[in-house]
Amino acid sequence: MIDVENTHPRLFGAEARTDLVDPCTGAVVGSAPDSTADEVDQAVHAARASAPAWAAATPAHRQRALLRLADALEASAEDYVLAESALTGKPLLPTREEEVLAAVDHLRFFAGLARLHDGAGAAEYLAGHTSYVRREPVGVTGHLLPSNYPLLMAVWHAAPSLAAGNTAVLKPAEATPRTAAMLAAHAVGTLGPDVLSVVCGGAAAGQRLIAGVDVIALTGTTATGARVAATAASCGVRTHLELGGKAPALVFPDVDPTAVAGQLAEAAFFNAGQDCTAVTRVLAHESIAPALTTALVAAARATRPGPPSDPEAFSGPLITRAHLSRTADVLDRLPSRIEVVAGGAPLPGPGFFFAPTVLLGARQSDEVVQRELFAPVVTVQTFGTEDKAVLLANGVRQALTASVWTADHARAHRLVPRLRAGCVWVNAHMRFAAEMPHGGPGASGHGRDLSRYAVDDYTSLKHVMHRFDDR
C-alpha cells in the first residue's frame, strides 16, 4: 500500500485521508493526507519563514542547490518512474523518457536561468537622476498541479519560481500526489527546509492556499481557472494560469496521408489524450480527407492501451473513474449524424481504459468540437481553402497549440500568424524544449511555462532612482 507520509515525513496534513486508486484496476492502493485549512496555513507560514534566506542567497547558490535537486531526482529516477506509473497507469518507458528524465533536464535549465536576470540598463531618463530596474522575488508562490503529468508539472511550476528566489508550496492533484511529495522530500536535503513543500487535498485545500500566497499558479481546466482567478482576485493574489486546449491539426494535400495519420494518432492518443496540447481536431483538406481518415482510423485501432505491465501498451487509462464516466457520457449523447469510426466507448475489463476514438461528421458548434474532453477522442472536419481552415482552427475558445502539415513552407509561413495559438508546430506536434515558452491566450490562460519567460510571473519589478545633483 502507498503511504505518502512515508515518502515525505514533513508533509503538512496527516489525519484526514484520501484514497489513492490504481486506474488500471480501480482498486484502492493507498492513501494520502487531506490537508486542513490550518495545515495549509502552516505550510505557507513555514515557506514564508524560509523565504528571506532563499531570496538573499546568490544566484550561484540557488543554481547549485537546484542542480543538486536535479541530481537527486536523476539518481532516483527508477523510483520516480514506478511511483508515477502506480497512480497514473502509464507505460514505464515513456514515463521514464518523457517525464522523469525530462523533469531532470528542465530543472537543470532553470538552475542555469537562476543566474540570468533581465532588466533595463541604468540611464538618466530624468536630468540629474539615474534609474535602473531590479527584478525581485515575490515571496511565496502556490502551485495547483494536474494529474496528467504529476512530476513534470511539479517541476514546470516550482523550478522557475525557485530560480527567481521564491519559496514554493505545491498542491498536487488528489489522485496523484506521490511524486510531488518525493520531490519535496529531496528538496529538504538539497534546497533546505520549507523552500519547497507540499500540501495535499482537494478544492478546499487549494482555495486556502490561494489566500495565503503571493502568486498562485494553476495547470488545469478553463473552468477551474475561472474559479481560481475569482478567488485570487478577491484576495489580491496574482495568477499564472495554464488552462485547456483544443488543438487543431491542419493537413494539406501535399503530404503523405499515411505518414501524417500515424503522427497525428500518436499526438492524439499519447497519455490517453490527457494532454492539453493533444491533437483533438483534425482539419483535413477535402482532397486528402478520405485517405487521411482511413489511415487515422487504422492507426487508432492499432493503438494499444494497457497497464504498465504490458510492454506493448502505447498508453494507459484515464486517471479517475469520474473522468471515464464523463467521457463516456459525452460519447453517449453524440448527435446521430456524427459517425464513430473507431473506438467510442470504455474498454471491457477492469480499470479506466477508453478506446482510441475517431469521429466523423461533427459540426463546429458540437460539444465534441468545442469542449476539451481530455481523452483519446479526435474529430475529423474538412476544408477547401486556407481561409476556411483558419476559421475552423480559430473557432474555439481555447488557443493553446496548433499544427500545420504541409510540404509548402510558404503556406506554413502564411498560416502561422493567422492561427490563434501560443505555439504552432509545422510538420510536428507535441514537441517541447525547455528553452521555448509554453502557454496560450484566450481561454487557455495567461503566463508562460518553460523558457526564460516562465520567471516573469514569479518576480516583481522595482524601479530605483538616484538623485546625484547638489540641490
| pLDDT, position 471 | 56
The pLDDT confidence band at residue 353, using thresholds 50, 70 and 90, is: very high
Render pLDDT for 125-165 as a digit per residue (tens, 0 to 9): 999 999 999 999 999 999 999 999 999 999 999 999 999 99
**Cell 464513430 appears where?**
340
The active-site residue out of 242, 286, 386, 435 is 242
| pLDDT, position 11 | 61
The pLDDT confidence band at residue 6, using thresholds 50, 70 and 90, is: low
Which of these, 161, 175, 137, lies nearest to 55 by C-alpha position? Answer: 137
| pLDDT, position 1 | 45
User: Is the Cβ–Cβ distance between 398 and 246 less than 8 Å?
Assistant: yes
Render pLDDT for 46-93 as a digit per residue (tens, 0 to 9): 999 999 999 999 999 999 999 999 999 999 999 999 999 999 999 999
Render pLDDT for 363-411 as a digit per residue (tens, 0 to 9): 999 999 999 999 999 999 999 999 999 999 999 999 999 999 999 999 9
* pLDDT average, residue stretch 337-366: 98
Q: Which three cell numbers stand for residue 157?
A: 511550476
242-275 as b/e, with b when 16 or more CB fall inside 10 Å? bbbbbbbbbbbeebebeebbbbbbbbbbbbbbbb
The pLDDT confidence band at residue 468, using thresholds 50, 70 and 90, is: confident
- Say yes or no to pLDDT of 441 above 90: yes
* pLDDT average, residue stretch 349-360: 97
* pLDDT average, residue stretch 182-193: 97
- Say yes or no to pLDDT of 430 above 70: yes
- The pTM score is 0.95
Pairing assessment for the beta strands 17-21 and 28-33 based on DSSP bridges:
antiparallel
Plot region of 272 (φ>0 → left; ψ -120 to 50 → alpha; else → beta): left
Pairing assessment for the beta strands 423-426 and 401-405 based on DSSP bridges:
parallel
Domains present along the chain, CATH in parentheses: 2-244+444-464 (3.40.605.10), 248-426 (3.40.309.10)
- Say yes or no to pLDDT of 8 above 60: no
136 is catalytic: no
- Say yes or no to pLDDT of 195 above 70: yes
- Say yes or no to pLDDT of 211 above 70: yes
The pLDDT confidence band at residue 12, using thresholds 50, 70 and 90, is: low
| pLDDT, position 16 | 74
Mean pLDDT across the chain, nearest whole number? Answer: 95
Cα distance between the two ends of the chain: 74
| pLDDT, position 118 | 76
- Say yes or no to pLDDT of 170 above 80: yes
Q: What is d(CA 462, CA 441) in angstroms, rounded to the nearest whole number? A: 27
